Structure formats: C-alpha cells, structure tokens
C-alpha cells in the first residue's frame, strides 16, 4: 500500500516540472526600491553602496528569476540575474565621475518595473601631479610634460599653463583624453626662467567640475648658439659660367648638429659637422637666396645671402613654321639666341643642335622636313658657347610638334536614321579622318551658326535642329569641319541627308474633287470622289467620309491621288463629303467639305413635264368649258318664255313630274309646251307652291324643251331649265338690272327658285321645285 505505480510517479514528476517552469503560475511586481548608502552626497574617496530590492507577488512559483539592471544617467553600468530579491553594487572609492542619477530596473519574465531615480553627488577632485622630462631645456627644444590624476575616472580635460615671474598665466596646451593622465609636447622659445603647472576638468551631466592646480615647476630655458655663418667666394655678383664656393660654419655647436645648404627649398649639401663647403658653376637661373641652416634636435637656426647671376646670352628659343603642321606639308624648326654681352660671347662661336625625343636630328640653327605622322614628337635645341674660361650650354623649352591629319569630308546624318519634316531632330556631322580636336560649324538659312568642338576619338558633333518644313531647306544645310587654321574647311551638304537618310514629309492639305463635276451629278449615274495631295512621303493613307453616313472607304497608296467610286447615285447620296490623309509622319490632314447635290434623272424630269403639261391642259379646258357651258346649254334647251302676269297674286308651279317627263321624252321629240296654272286660294300642291300677299292675275310663260339627252341626268336638265327661265324673266321685266333678280339654288333639295324683285311687296313671284324623291 505504501508504494505507487511507476507510471503514476512519472506523470506526477512531469506535472511538477511543468508547473515549476511557470506554465500555470501568475505573478505581479509590487515594488522596486533603490537606496544609496551611506548617503546621497559624499566626499571623494568615500565607499558607496547601491542596494536594489524588488517585491514580487506570485502563485507559488519556485525559484523565480529576477533580472536587475542599474543605470547612471540612463547608461547601464551593472546587470545581474538572481533568484534573490536584493542585489548590491559597490563604488569604492567614489569619485566625481560617479556622480549622477541612478535607477534600478527589474524584469521578471515578460514584466518589468523601475525604481525611483536616486542622485549621487560626489564632492571634491584629486589634485593632479605634473612631471617634466627636463627642467633646463634649450630654446625651442621639445620636451614632455605629463599631468595626471590617477584616482579619478575619465573623461578628463587637462590644461597646461605657463607663467613668468611677472605677468598672468596663459594656457599653452589643452588635451582631452579618456584616461586620468595626459602627456603634452612643449617647446619654449623665451630664454630665461618660467613656471609650469596643470589642472583638469571633468564633464558631468550635472555640470563641469574643475580640480585644483598641480604643484608649480620652475624651468630655466637656455639659449642655443648654433646660428651659422655663410660666406660666398669670390662674390655675390656673378656671370653665368663662373665657379663659386659657399662656406657654412657653426661656432661651438653641441654634438649631433647638422648643417644644410639650400636654394629654393632644394638641399645643395648637408653635413653632420660644424661647417660645410660647396663649389659649383652658376647658371642664369641660379640667381636667388642661398640658405645655410643648422639643426640640433628640434631646434633650427638659419642664415641666408642672395646671389645675382648675369646672363651672357639668352636661353635658346625653338620656333616652328607653320605653327599648324599638317600631314604632307613642309615645316621648319629654327633655334636662336640673343647675346647680352658681346664682349664675353661672340655670335659666330655659338654652336646649335636640334633634338627630337632626345635624339639629335640637326647641328645647325635650322631644320627642314616634310610633315609625316612619324615627325610628331618633342623637339628641343641646345646653344653652346666656348671660351677660355668657361663653357656655357643652354637648352630651350620643349616644343611639341603634332602632325595633324587633315579632316576628311564630313558626313551628315540624322540621329536615328529618320527625319520627320516639321519636327525637331538631331543632326550628326562626322569626319572619319582628322586629328583631334575638330571644329564643326553648322550653317542654316536664317539661323545663327552653331559650333561644336569634338575632342574624343569616335565622337560626333550633334546639332539640335528645331524643325525643317520643306525638303528644299535640307539642301541648304552645310557642315564645315576643320582642325587647322591654315587649311580650308571640308564641307558636308544636305544632299547627303537626302541620299542616306529616310526623310518623312507630312502630307499637304488634301483636295477633294468629284468626277463628273458636282453640278453634273445625276441620279442613276456613277460618281467618283477624288482625294489628292500636293506632297507627302509614301505610303499615304486616304480615308473618305460623308457628313451624313460617316466612314466610307480607306485606301493605302503609293500615289498622291486616290479615288472612291459610288455606283448608281441616288438622292440620298446628296450632302457633304471630305477626305483625310496621313502617312508615317503621323500628321493627319483634312480636306474642306464639299456639298454635293444630286440632280433628278432625265426620264423623271420628262414624266413630270408631261404630267405638268397635261395638268395645265386640263385646267385650260376646264376653264374654257366652264365659261362656254351656259351658252352651249342654252342652245340645247328650248326657249323658256314667261309672259307678263297680272298684278294679282298668282301661283305658277312647274310640276316636277312634268320636268321629269320632259327629261325622259322620246329622243325624236324636238320640244314640248308645258303649261300649268294654279290659282292661289285654299288649293295646295305637294311639289310646287306660290305664296302672294295679294291675289293677282296669273301670268303664263312658255318653256320650250329640246329633246333630252338620255345620258344627261335630271339634275342637268333642271339646271338648264332654271338658267333659261332666269334669262327669260330678266328680259320680260323691262330689261331690269340683274342685281334686282335673285337666282338661288338649293342643291340639297334639287330645287330651283326664281324671284322677281321689281316689286317686292306686290309682284314677287316664286317658283319652287321640289324633288319628287322627297
């Protein structure tokens, strides 16, 4: 019973390990406390201890790790990981450099907390000490001075002071080093007694602190008598070719003294002794200062004298004619001098030599040759004068002769190979042969000249041209290439551009015409729209448009003119048309719009003319018959007479049935008299009635009816009868004005009314004929 199964023990151990690892524990950092012992302000050299203590609450987490970090002025100075809740950091002894604001930061796993900041102020600095390598230096002799504060911590700034017995001190050296000591190299030029001392400063975040001064050191600066004496024999005024001797001497020098003879910073001679002597033959350019210098250690003293050398003849001068040497031309080199003292030098005794690349090519004053490429090189000449006492040789300045290869004819080309008229482009001008540099000048009409200088092999002159609008302007372009002022320039012309470049000329504004002419276009015929341009590079794209229908046709052509045909023109083809042209220049040009009117076809015109003619004839016939019809009807119908009636009221009625009978009479019948009398009173008739205000005597009229035409209707017969009757009534009423008689027709009743208005109150007669169909 006291033992457990092995498996259960294994599981328990794993659970304990996982729990100890903190997989389930929780924690919180309560406080972090930083203290400074014995106190926050101490004297320099005091032992100081910083204590950082943390308080953590957790749920039974064993061996909890605390990460401590101490910082001074936010700079870490100490770190430690511990299971304890307290760490200490000792500063022993504390110095001024340890002053600052301290802070303790504790991290537990992924949580951290910092303490309040504590300030430590260390008062006082150590007094520095001064050490010198010598107390009796010579004037300007270098020696070492070391100022140190071994107990202090850097960074320290050391300063060295010099003070004489009378006067205030001055800083002669200041050094900033990270250590607690500094060594300076000093050199004193004042001869006599002086005092040296030093101090230092420390820079803290809270401010700078300065130390006390070191003990003073008294020095005695001794004079060093090494100033040399210089002698020039035979004289300071000399002629070129003279031999002189220069002597430099130092009186009672210390050991290891060096003596130098220099001219223009060039050492002529040097010895480690008390004196030196130097002989040499003077030349024209030896005029100047001779310096004698004595050196001991870092101390130097010098003396100088000036010599003047008189020139007997000038330095030879080498000239070349012509100055520009071109391949294949002759050129001449001449060596000449100017004699300054004819008593010393005779011109006829002068000897000359001409050298090319240090090889003599002539021993005369003049050298002629033909310019070849191999003639290029560095040329000099020598002039030699011999006398009993001296020999003088002078050399001229080096003259570089470069035989120029003449330029070849420049070639003009368009950069990129294609020139678009009307657009800016780059023009290249290049000569395959010719010595560099080559000057290229571009000439254009109405534009200032442009110059390019080419100095690199293979480089071309590139000119930026704004634009050229016409091919003829290209022919006027000219490029000159030259590398010599003595040779005429070589010219390249615009003809080369026309020959070797791809020139794209934009199309001109197109012109649209028609075939046949616009005024001759009729229905049923064919019409051709011809689009043409005056100029432009091929291929040219032609496009035709209608303002009503839009796009019509598109053609690519190698000609300046193309056409689009429209078959069987109709009326709806009338309207505006235009064309557009473009080519590889990518500039589209559009023609003006032309308005086309389509004429009617000839047969339609003839048909309309015939119709109009027939219509006019019909109108004429209609008007003619309308005017003559009443007379024709009078001839065809019988004479209708109405005799005078009495003033009494009467009633005359033309019976419709009788009229119908007359209309339907036998064709052979020539006429018939119809009489009808109705006396007014109580009698009435269904077809005709006459109303009078007073009873009057009846009047009778005889109506003659001609044979009726069967093809004529009743209406026509009635019309004729009424017309005849009206005329008759007019004649029988004393030839009265027709305006006094009324003739009224009522088509709706097919009746006719004839009224006599001579006496409207007493003698009105009315004949009313009503249609039997009512």
Four-CA torsion 104, 108, 110, 116, nearest 10 degrees: -20
Instruction: Express each pLDDT in 677-701 by its tens digit.
Output: 333 333 334 433 334 344 444 444 4
Judge contact between 419 and 497, C-beta under 8 A: yes
Evaluate if residue 653 carries a pLDDT over 60: no
Q: Which of 714, 712, 619 is nearest to 660 (CA)?
A: 714
Mean pLDDT value of segment 357-362: 93
- Burial per residue of 641-667, b for 16 or more beta-carbon CB atoms within 10 angstroms, e otherwise: bbeebeebbbbbbbbbebbeebbebee
Evaluate if residue 665 carries a pLDDT over 50: no
Instruction: Express each pLDDT in 176-209 by its tens digit.
Output: 876 889 999 999 988 899 999 999 998 888 788 8
Cis bond before residue 421 (omega within 30° of 0)? no
Query: Which ranges of 147-221 does DSSP label H, i.e. alpha helix?
Result: none
Instruction: Express each pLDDT in 600-621 by its tens digit.
Output: 766 777 788 888 888 888 898 8
pLDDT attached to residue 336: 92
Judge contact between 542 and 578, C-beta under 8 A: no
The domain made up of 227-307 has a fold known as Immunoglobulin-like (2.60.40)
More confident residue, 436 or 761: 436
Instruction: Express each pLDDT in 492-527 by its tens digit.
Output: 888 877 777 788 888 999 999 999 888 888 888 899
- CATH 3.30.70 applies to domain 414-503: no
The domain made up of 31-123 has a fold known as Immunoglobulin-like (2.60.40)
pLDDT attached to residue 576: 93
Q: Which of 241-255, 550-564, 657-671, 674-688 has the lowest mean pLDDT?
A: 674-688
Evaluate if residue 670 carries a pLDDT over 70: no
Q: How far is CA 34 from the centre of its chain?
A: 66
Does an H or E element contain 530, and which? strand 527-532
Instruction: Express each pLDDT in 243-272 by its tens digit.
Output: 999 999 998 888 889 999 999 999 999 999
List 503's β-bridge partners, or say none.
419
Q: Which of 314, 318, 485 is nearest to 399 (CA)?
A: 318
Q: 511-603 sits in which CATH class?
A: mainly beta
Mean pLDDT value of segment 729-744: 41
Does an H or E element contain 67, and which? strand 66-72
pLDDT attached to residue 632: 65
Q: Which of 55-64, 281-290, 305-314 has the lowest mean pLDDT?
A: 55-64
Q: How many CB atoms lie within 10 A of CB 612?
A: 10
* One fold for 227-307 and 511-603: yes
For the domain covering 129-221, report its CATH number: 2.60.40.10
Residues 6+ apart with CB under 8 A from 29: 54, 55, 56, 106, 108, 111, 112, 113
The residue count for the chain? 774
In order of 19, 169, 430, 720, the CA distances from 197 in angstroms are 69, 9, 78, 168
pLDDT attached to residue 737: 43
Round to whole Å and give the CA distance between 613 and 596: 30
- CATH 1.10.10.10 applies to domain 317-401: no
Q: Which of 142-156, 235-249, 401-415, 715-729 has the lowest mean pLDDT?
A: 715-729
Instruction: Express each pLDDT in 418-467 by its tens digit.
Output: 888 888 889 999 999 998 999 999 998 888 889 999 999 989 999 998 87
In order of 484, 622, 640, 770, 772, the CA distances from 718 in angstroms are 130, 22, 12, 11, 13
Query: Using the 8-state DSSP alphabet, how is residue 599 labeled?
Result: B
In 257-376, beta strands by DSSP E = 258-263, 266-271, 275-281, 288-296, 299-310, 317-321, 330-336, 351-356, 359-362, 366-370
Q: How confident is the model at residue 378 (pLDDT cuts 50, 70, 90)?
A: very high
Every domain of the chain and the residues it spans: 31-123, 129-221, 227-307, 317-401, 414-503, 511-603
Query: Using the 8-state DSSP alphabet, how is residue 156 labeled?
Result: E
């Amino acid at each position: 019973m006291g033992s457990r199964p092995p498996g259960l023990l294994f599981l328990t151990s794993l659970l304990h390990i996982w729990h100890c690892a903190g997989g389930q524990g929780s924690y919180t950092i309560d406080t972090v406390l930083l203290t400074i012992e014995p106190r926050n302000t101490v004297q320099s050299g005091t032992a100081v201890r910083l204590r950082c203590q943390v308080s953590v609450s957790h749920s039974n987490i064993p061996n909890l790790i605390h990460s401590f970090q101490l910082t001074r002025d936010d700079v870490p100075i100490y770190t430690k990981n511990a299971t304890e809740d307290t760490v200490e950091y000792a500063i022993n002894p504390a110095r001024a450099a340890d002053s600052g604001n301290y802070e303790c930061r504790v991290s537990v796993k992924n949580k951290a907390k910092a303490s309040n900041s504590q300030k430590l102020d260390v008062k006082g600095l150590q007094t520095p000490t001064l050490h010198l390598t010598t107390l009796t230096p010579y004037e300007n002799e270098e020696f070492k001075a070391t100022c140190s504060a071994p107990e202090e911590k850097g960074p320290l700034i050391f300063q060295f002071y010099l003070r004489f017995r009378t006067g205030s001190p001055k800083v002669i050296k200041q050094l900033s080093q990270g250590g607690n000591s500094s060594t300076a190299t000093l050199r004193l030029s004042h001869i006599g007694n002086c005092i040296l001392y030093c101090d230092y400063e420390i820079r803290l975040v809270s401010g700078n602190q300065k130390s006390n001064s070191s003990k003073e050191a008294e020095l005695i600066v001794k004079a060093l008598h090494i100033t040399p004496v210089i002698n020039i024999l035979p004289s300071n005024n000399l002629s070129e070719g003279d031999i002189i001797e220069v002597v430099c001497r130092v009186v009672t020098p210390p050991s290891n003294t060096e003596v130098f003879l220099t001219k223009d910073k060039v050492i002529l001679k040097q010895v480690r002794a008390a004196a030196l002597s130097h002989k040499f033959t003077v030349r024209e350019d030896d005029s100047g200062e001779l310096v004698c210098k004595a050196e001991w250690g870092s101390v130097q003293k010098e003396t100088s004298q000036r010599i003047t050398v008189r020139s007997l003849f000038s330095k030879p001068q080498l000239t070349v004619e012509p100055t520009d040497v071109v391949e294949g031309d002759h050129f001449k080199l001449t060596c000449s001098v100017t004699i300054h003292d004819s008593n010393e030098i005779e011109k006829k005794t002068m000897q000359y030599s001409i050298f090319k690349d240090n090889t003599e090519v002539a021993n005369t004053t003049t050298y002629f040759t033909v310019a070849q490429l191999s003639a290029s090189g560095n040329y000099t000449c020598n002039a030699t004068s011999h006398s009993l006492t001296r020999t003088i040789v002078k050399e001229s300045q080096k003259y570089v002769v470069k035989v120029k290869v003449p330029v070849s004819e420049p070639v003009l080309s368009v950069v990129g190979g294609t020139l678009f008229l009307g657009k800016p482009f780059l023009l290249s001008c290049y000569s395959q042969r010719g010595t560099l540099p080559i000057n290229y000048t571009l000439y254009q009409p109405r534009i200032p000249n442009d110059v390019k200088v080419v100095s690199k092999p293979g480089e071309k002159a590139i000119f930026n041209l704004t634009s050229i609008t016409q091919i003829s302007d290209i022919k006027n372009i000219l490029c000159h290439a030259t590398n010599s002022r003595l040779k005429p320039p070589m010219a390249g012309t615009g003809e080369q551009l026309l020959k070797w470049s791809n020139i794209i000329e934009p199309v001109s504004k197109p012109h649209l015409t028609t075939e046949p002419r616009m005024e001759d276009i009729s229905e049923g015929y064919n019409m051709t729209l011809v689009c043409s341009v005056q100029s432009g590079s091929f291929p040219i794209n032609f496009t035709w448009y209608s303002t009503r229908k839009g796009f019509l046709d598109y053609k690519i052509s190698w000609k300046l003119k193309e056409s689009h045909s429209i078959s069987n023109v109709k009326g709806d083809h009338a309207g505006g048309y235009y064309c557009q042209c473009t080519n590889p220049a990518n500039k589209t040009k559009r023609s003006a719009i032309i308005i086309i009117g389509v004429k009617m076809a000839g047969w339609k015109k003839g048909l309309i003319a015939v119709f109009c003619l027939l219509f006019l004839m019909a109108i004429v016939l209609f008007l003619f018959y309308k005017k003559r019809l009443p007379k024709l009807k009078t001839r065809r119908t019988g004479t209708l007479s109405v005799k005078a009636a009495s003033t009494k009221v009467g009633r005359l009625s033309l019976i419709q049935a009788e009229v119908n009978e007359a209309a339907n009479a036998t064709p052979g019948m020539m006429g018939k008299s119809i009489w009808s009398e109705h006396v007014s009173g109580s009698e009435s008739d269904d077809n005709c009635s006459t109303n009078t205000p007073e009873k009057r005597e009846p009047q009778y009229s005889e109506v003659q009816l001609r044979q009726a035409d069967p093809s004529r209707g009743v209406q026509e017969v009635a019309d004729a009868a009424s017309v005849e009757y009206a005329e008759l009534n007019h004649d029988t009423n004393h030839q009265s004005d027709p305006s006094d008689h009324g003739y009224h027709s009522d088509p709706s009743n097919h009746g006719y009314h004839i009224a006599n208005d001579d006496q409207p109150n007493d003698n009105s007669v009315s004949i009313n004929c009503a249609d039997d169909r009512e």
